[in-house]
Amino acid sequence: MKLFEFVVAIVSVIMFFSSSCLEAASIEEPAASSSGDLMIAPQRIVFEGTVRTAEVSLMNRSDRPLTYGISFVQYRMTENGMMKEITEAGPNELFASPYIRFTPRRVLLEPHQMQTVLLQLLKPQGLKDGEYRSHLLLCVLPTAKEEKEPDVGNEGKSLSIKMVTIYGVSIPVIVRHGALSVTTGLSGLSLAPKKGLSQRSLSVTIERDGNCSTFGDLVAEWKASGNNVVSIGRVNGIAVYTSIAKRRVSLPLSLPAGLEFHGGQLTVRFIDHVNEKILAEATLLLP
């Protein structure tokens, strides 16, 4: 291998594994997030009102000691819900990390041991009204042995590359300050077939307007002539951040056995994740 080609290969490997820890963040906001041997809770932190401190618990679910690195990263949500790492804020984006201290930043946990990460909000005078957001990233770091262990497939060669996978989980940390408002709507309902007559998926667009994000659960009910209302789908913990005005979601639908999915009316609601207040509602008449 020529020297230039080897250098390019090394740089590519470093870039790939540096980003692999970040890609887990596209899985968003269950009650407790997990990736591999790492579990963290809660799934999001919101500083608002007089709240100035918060805690995040992480747990080593494996049978071996693991070291975790903790840091802030910045993500931008796309209209399909994916998260892309950024370094500079765009329109309607404000970062929370400059105003939050946390400890520890690195921790070694024994098997099934838990650790609490403490966060503290420090608001400066004259802070601009708005919603500030960063993501707390918790990564499982390779051990010294894994970093130094030679690649078996390259024994006897002068050059070798050891592939070490780094994985982790991120959660949003949100600071809400001053006068905030948000309105939420649903549009673009479209039914598509999925895996047979009794299973479908519903495409729906969640619309957001204002200087605050919206967060809730998407639920679907079906009412056909002569039948009671039947719950046929639910997706929990959907956020639409301030970087976008709308987010497209695919909601899996499933009917109880014995019912055929045709005719009637399908109702979709976006409800508050905590108190189940209806934030938006839309209907679709089925043929």
Name the band, by pLDDT with cuts 50, 70 and 90, for residue 34.
Answer: low
Report the distance separating Cα 92 and Cα 209, nearest Å.
11
Regarding whether 258 and 119 lie in a shared domain, the answer is no
The secondary structure element, H or E, covering residue 5 is: helix 3-20
Regarding whether 62 and 35 lie in a shared domain, the answer is yes
Q: Return phi, psi of residue 23, to 5°.
A: -70, -20
Regarding whether 167 and 58 lie in a shared domain, the answer is yes
Per-residue model confidence (pLDDT) at position 181: 95
Regarding whether 251 and 233 lie in a shared domain, the answer is yes
Domain closes at, from 144, 177, 210:
177
Per-residue model confidence (pLDDT) at position 148: 56
CA dihedral 140, 146, 152, 156 (to 10 degrees): 140
Whether residue 172 contacts residue 280, with contact meaning beta carbons closer than 8 Å, is answered with no
Q: How many residues does the chain have?
A: 287
Whether pLDDT at 143 is above 90: no
User: Helix, strand, coil shares of the chain as percentages rounded to 5?
Assistant: 10, 50, 40
This prediction's pTM: 0.80
Give the chain's mean pLDDT: 82
DSSP conformation class of 37: T
Whether pLDDT at 25 is above 60: no
Whether residue 242 contacts residue 133, with contact meaning beta carbons closer than 8 Å, is answered with yes
Regarding whether 280 and 158 lie in a shared domain, the answer is no
Regarding whether 37 and 160 lie in a shared domain, the answer is yes
Containing structural domain, residue 266? 182-285
Q: Return phi, psi of residue 281, to 5°.
A: -150, 145
Number of folded domains that form the chain = 2
Query: Per-residue pLDDT averaged across 210-232, rounded?
Result: 91
Percentage, residues of the chain above pLDDT 70: 76
Per-residue model confidence (pLDDT) at position 29: 42
Report the distance separating Cα 261 and Cα 252, nearest Å.
13
* Residue located via tokens 């997030």: 33
Domain closes at, from 133, 161, 177:
177
Name the band, by pLDDT with cuts 50, 70 and 90, for residue 255.
Answer: confident
Name the band, by pLDDT with cuts 50, 70 and 90, for residue 5.
Answer: very low
Domain closes at, from 132, 148, 177:
177
Query: Per-residue pLDDT averaged across 201-206, rounded?
Result: 95
Query: Strand pairing of 167-177 and 130-141?
Result: antiparallel
Regarding whether 151 and 65 lie in a shared domain, the answer is yes
Structure tokens at 233: 């789908």
The residues facing 68 across adjacent strands are 107, 140
Per-residue model confidence (pLDDT) at position 261: 73
Regarding whether 265 and 133 lie in a shared domain, the answer is no
Per-residue model confidence (pLDDT) at position 142: 79
Lowest mean pLDDT among 3-17, 142-156, 214-228, 253-267: 3-17
Query: Per-residue pLDDT averaged across 49-62, rounded?
Result: 94
Regarding whether 30 and 17 lie in a shared domain, the answer is yes
Give the Å distances, CA to CA, from 210 to 223, 241, 271. 33, 10, 18
Query: DSSP 3-state assignment of 36?
Result: coil
Omega before 42 cis (within 30°)?
A: yes
Regarding whether 22 and 151 lie in a shared domain, the answer is yes
Report the distance separating Cα 140 and Cα 165, nearest Å.
9
Name the band, by pLDDT with cuts 50, 70 and 90, for residue 19.
Answer: very low
**CATH of residue 75:** 2.60.40.10
Regarding whether 104 and 158 lie in a shared domain, the answer is yes
Query: Strand pairing of 45-47 and 167-177?
Result: parallel
Regarding whether 66 and 160 lie in a shared domain, the answer is yes
